[in-house]
Amino acid sequence: MTGKSLKPYKNPDRGEPGVKLLYIQTIGCQMNVYDSDCIRHILEPSGYAITSCPDDADLVILNTCAVREKAEQKAFSFLGRLADLKRRRPEVILGVGGCVAQQQGHAILGRMPYIDFVFGTRAIGRLPQILDRISRTGARVVDVEMTAPGTPGEPSSPLAGGGNVSRFVTIMQGCDNYCSYCVVPYVRGREVSRHPDRILDEIRGLVASGVREVTLLGQNVNSYGAKEGLCSFAQLLTRINDIDGLSRIRFTTSHPKDFSTDLMSAFGTLDKLCNHIHLPAQSGSNAVLKRMNRRYSREDYLDRIAHLRRIRPDIAITTDIIVGFPGETVEDFEETLDLIKSVEYDSLFAFMYSDRPCAPARRYPGKVPEAEKRDRLAQVLDLQKRATIRHNHALVGTIQTVLAEGLSKRNGISESFQWTGRTTTNKIVNFSFPEAGEDTPQPCIGKLVSIRIEKALSHSLMGRLIRSDRGQPV
Ligand code: SAH
Ligand code: SF4
């Protein structure tokens, strides 16, 4: 989970007539990052440019997440800070969007008199009208309509610009799965897939602006297009694979119950499809999986992984795990530990179960005490830490193809140039050029470069770029 502000794409200039400054704080998953990008894009024609400082902004938007209790607390703590901003600068307009906004709608305006508007997960496309209404009438507005498909936060033209090498592209919204712990179907609505032509247009636009990698987003990408009779996810991937200039395709999230042989075969045929799959297991116990309403068994899950590894033996596999689901016994938990050991994940996200509004599991008996959940979480993280280190160490001495994304965060403290990118297996690689300070490495951004891995850390790798004879990055 992240809590980040959108980076400014250009230096906004207040001196420019008509320019208003917009600050967006994003909490939550990649889908929220994408939605924040849509917000920026949709408000650009109304004269808004991104600023990285809320104190300078004319408009501040908080894009919230309600998936776990912690994320919601984070949202309310940011909202508390906005009260102070409004006291100091009453002219600033404050808006709340995303899952918490969808869920709490009017209640937010009731509790927080300084908030000007609340907009739901499918109201992003209507933001210009909402702001127009506020400026004309001074009204406080709530728009949590889950209106017709096609409108949900979808950019009207490709989301180009931004200068990033890697970008998210939402291919579908909402979810129909109703896992018993999950709030998503209630706050993001029923599953709706975007038309493949619009997705392709958006990706082509991104590629034209320098993007080389896209991560396709959906709560359950495997069921893409099924309801609408569009095309299958594997067919969509095939069309995207044909886009000239695009180097890599990633996607998330794949529900194990719908992980089809069709999609597995795509890993055997599509050269741009990265060597990584995020396949959330949630639990290793069949009893818990059943109560979670996941609709696969531990055996189904392991079979699918075995099948996939036959197609791509070196594929990196990551997962999500929930510990302390209501009724999870010590034996159930041990089955989860055992699953983690047998899959040998490259990395994982683990969460302590939290009750969510609307989600049926909040009424399930057998709540696991917080201290026990913390202990189980620590056990999962400790087990995985050792596996991740093993995976990373195995790469030392190998040559990896890395998509160079930009300067690494450590650059400020390093004497040599430190650049960053990821392997096809989604591991972060910070790398330098052979002789420190000799080059301006700018030309390697957006390129696939060969890096000799020299060191493995717990969350990243370090290496050195290999040159061809002509001194060009290879
Ligand atoms: N659609 C994706 C996940 C979306 S939510 C999927 O099906 O995998 C991201 C992750 O948050 C989930 O995979 C789950 O591990 C976690 N999560 C969701 N609800 C939760 C809750 N109530 N408590 C703790 N973790 C939760
Ligand atoms: Fe939530 Fe399950 Fe849908 Fe994922 S598949 S968003 S966990 S209901």
Q: Is the CB of 255 under 6 A from ligand 1?
A: yes
* Ligand whose nearest atom lies closest to the CA of 358: 1
pLDDT at 222 (0 to 100): 94
% residues pLDDT > 90 (the chain): 82
Contact 220 CB / ligand 2 (< 6 Å): yes
Question: Ligand 2 centroid to 204 CA: how many Å?
Answer: 29
Which protein residue's CA is at the shortest distance from atom 10 of ligand 1?
320
The pLDDT assigned to 436 comes to: 47
**Tens of pLDDT, residues 70-92:** 999 999 999 999 999 999 999 99
pLDDT in tens, 180-235: 999 999 999 999 999 999 999 999 999 999 999 999 999 999 999 999 999 999 99
The atom of ligand 2 lying closest to the CA of 293 is: 2
Span from the CA of 156 to the centroid of ligand 2 (angstroms): 27
Pairing mode, if any, of strands 20-28 and 59-64? Answer: parallel
- Give pLDDT, residue 445: 86
Question: What is the share, in percent, of the chain residues with pLDDT greater than 70?
Answer: 87
Least confident of 266-275, 356-365, 428-437: 428-437
* Residues 292, 285 contacting (CB under 8 angstroms): no
Is the shortest distance between the CB of 219 and ligand 2 below 6 Å? yes
Q: Is 294 in the pocket of ligand 2 (CB under 6 A)?
A: no
- What single string gives the DSSP state of each residue in 354-365? ---TT-GGGG-S
pLDDT tens digits along 129-176 = 999 999 999 999 999 998 654 444 455 445 655 558 999 999 999 999
Tell me the pLDDT tens digit for each residue of 450-472: 999 999 998 999 999 986 444 44
Query: Pick from 166, 1, 157: which is nearest to 72 by CA?
Result: 1
Burial track 196-224 (b if 16+ CB lie within 10 A, e otherwise): beebbebbbbbbeebbbbbbbbbbbbbbb
CA of 280 to the centre of ligand 2 (A): 10
Amino acid at 149: P
CA-CA distance, 124 to 126, in Å (whole number)? Answer: 5
Instruction: Say how many Å lie between the CA of residue 117 and the centre of ligand 1.
Output: 28
Within 13 Å of residue 172, how many CA atoms lie on the same side as its CB? 29
| Higher pLDDT pick, 3 / 70 | 70
* Average pLDDT value for residue range 353-366: 96
Atom of ligand 1 nearest to the CA of 349: 15
Candidate from 29, 31, 68, 348 with most ligand 1 atoms within 8 A of CB, to mutate: 68
Determine which of 16-25, 299-308, 430-439 has the lowest per-residue pLDDT on average.
430-439
pLDDT tens, residue by residue, 333-357: 999 999 999 999 999 999 999 999 9
pLDDT of residue 456: 95
Q: Is the pLDDT of residue 382 over 90?
A: yes
Asked whether 12 lines ligand 1 (CB < 6 A), one says: no
Does 422 contact ligand 2 (Cβ within 6 A)?
no
Q: What average pLDDT does the structure give for the chain?
A: 90
**Which residue matches tokens 């020299």?**
454
pLDDT for res 15: 52
